[in-house]
Structure 1
């Protein structure tokens, strides 16, 4: 059963309705992926049934992830392989959303992107007609004077930073050299500093790479991923969803729950990933208006807790 978080800081949103009533109040559900519907390459037990039953009940379901290492199609293929009824156009990852941001918000026309990122990001950029350069290793050579005079592509009009397992000093330097041109756009996929793994382990996330580039360039990037409202804007503009009839489901307070708060969505924290109820209570008691945005309306142990209401 979903339990509401209540208290003085949430006096305007004391939602004590039972889970069936909560589900009846929404037409659309947005799910984070890792830690919510799967861990690594395995589905959270019961998650495929929940997603599939929601759709059978006529709910719209979307998948929103800050991970930029896969294209929409790659995510759809993974979802389907794990037993989820999912389509490519229901997936909104930062590889796709960054391409859309550069095309629609930045109005990038006729210029290239210097990409610190993955092949998936390259594919999503090219799918919307944006050329890129930079994918793959960039090994260091020469001396410092050579690094400062590194060859740059004159057609590059933007730097985009996502997760890049080939990140190197030369890539950092090349991004910095482009960004010394003040009219060069600067965009990052997300600011997640850690990628959680199994058994409580983690590795550095995209936010670490982005901060390195920002520090070198002495400029701050516009970020596309959660909790930035642009990810929800992508969903809303394409499917015409009503924010007041949407529920954001996630395991991270600073990205998933904050996205919901930023966009006027109901929020549900699942405890199968990063954050705990205790974490939310610390934000709730902080007295900080910004941190109140990280307090979810509801929490569940796992999204499998939705099964009884859906099967009834």
Structure 2
């Protein structure tokens, strides 16, 4: 269905146009932060939208670059915030996909050195991927610390306990050209309350790229691999029948574009329509991949379309 609607191209849609999309699409991919919830507060109406899609037989999956928690913790959060129809199989995080990539794609034979949180290690453990577990002495330095043998991959994610020693160790492992260099995602930062920001996985990856002179393979959005994960676990996934709904142009919209999906920007998170319009009007062709096909204020804008569909079926 890609390209079939005359109202595509960074256009705000509602009512009949949203209803047409609901009829046309079989798979709905949602980012979480800024789309489904903000922090510990669900976006108003989001739970009703998810439930209505599932009741109508649509396939709903959640694709998030947040690698700080394992999928079962995500499932608990969905339930806690009122999304009681969600199952574990619908959740695709960058940490889960990183574990699958290491186990099933590159079939890593050796240990993985992790720069990241416990949630990332939990996903590796559940996938049966070995990783370095030693704890460093607080007084240790790169001059006298022990480097683990058999490290065949360095995996970088968000790490709120990052130390200079971790970066130095990772740099040493990456001197081996046979050691894989992966990152869960390349998000540069995340918004916090009060206008503050939190450096993202991309900022840590950038430090290691400079130190090692190498480029990391990105597993999460906007890489195609997350969509390949979905395709292997859900039969009959047709990109033309998918809609990617997100709040960040540089990750969610680019991910959809890279995978051949129609894209929708919701204005409850990071990016706003003015930024999308600037990319649309840019002379740089590459920027056009960041432009959403459709824009809504919030995914709750789906709800009137459901009501109309229910009336038609009665």
TM-score, L = length of structure 2: 0.90
How many equivalent pairs are there?
Answer: 300
After superposition, residues 198-277 of structure 1 pair within 5 angstroms as: 198-240=193-235, 241-277=237-273
Corresponding residue of 1:36: 35
Cα distance in 1, alignment partners of residues 78 and 150 from structure 2: 37
In the TM superposition, what is the alpha-carbon distance from 1:17 to its structure 2 partner? 6.8
Q: 2:175 aligns with which of 177, 180, 186?
A: 180
Give the conservation status (yes or no) of the 8 Å contact 1:71–1:124: yes
Give the conservation status (yes or no) of the 8 Å contact 1:4–1:299: no
Aligned CA RMSD, in angstroms, stands at 2.1
SS at match of 2:92: strand
Cα distance in 1, alignment partners of residues 138 and 181 from structure 2: 23
Tell me whether 120-129 or 162-171 shows the greater mean CA deviation: 120-129
In the TM superposition, what is the alpha-carbon distance from 1:139 to its structure 2 partner? 3.6
Cα distance in 2, alignment partners of residues 198 and 249 from structure 1: 23
Corresponding residue of 2:98: 98
In the TM superposition, what is the alpha-carbon distance from 1:138 to its structure 2 partner? 6.5
Where structure 2 has 5 or more consecutive residues not aligned to the other structure, the ranges are 1-5, 309-314
Q: 1:299 aligns with which of 272, 295, 298?
A: 295
Corresponding residue of 1:196: 191
**Given the superposition, is the C-alpha separation of residues 17 and 49 from structure 1 closer, same or farther in structure 2, using an over 3 Å criterion?**
closer
In the TM superposition, what is the alpha-carbon distance from 1:270 to its structure 2 partner? 0.0
Corresponding residue of 2:3: none
SS at match of 1:64: strand
SS at match of 2:34: coil
**Given the superposition, is the C-alpha separation of residues 297 and 61 from structure 1 closer, same or farther in structure 2, using an over 3 Å criterion?**
same
Corresponding residue of 2:108: 108
Cα distance in 2, alignment partners of residues 88 and 217 from structure 1: 37
**Given the superposition, is the C-alpha separation of residues 131 and 258 from structure 1 closer, same or farther in structure 2, using an over 3 Å criterion?**
same
SS at match of 1:132: coil
Corresponding residue of 2:79: 80
SS at match of 2:207: helix
In the TM superposition, what is the alpha-carbon distance from 1:199 to its structure 2 partner? 4.3
In the TM superposition, what is the alpha-carbon distance from 1:92 to its structure 2 partner? 0.4
After superposition, residues 87-166 of structure 1 pair within 5 angstroms as: 87-109=87-109, 111-134=110-133, 139-142=138-141, 147-148=142-143, 150-166=145-161
SS at match of 1:30: strand
Cα distance in 1, alignment partners of residues 239 and 306 from structure 2: 22
In the TM superposition, what is the alpha-carbon distance from 1:149 to its structure 2 partner? 5.2
**Given the superposition, is the C-alpha separation of residues 135 and 92 from structure 1 closer, same or farther in structure 2, using an over 3 Å criterion?**
farther
Cα distance in 2, alignment partners of residues 135 and 63 from structure 1: 33
TM-score, L = length of structure 1: 0.91
Tell me whether 23-32 or 194-203 shows the greater mean CA deviation: 194-203
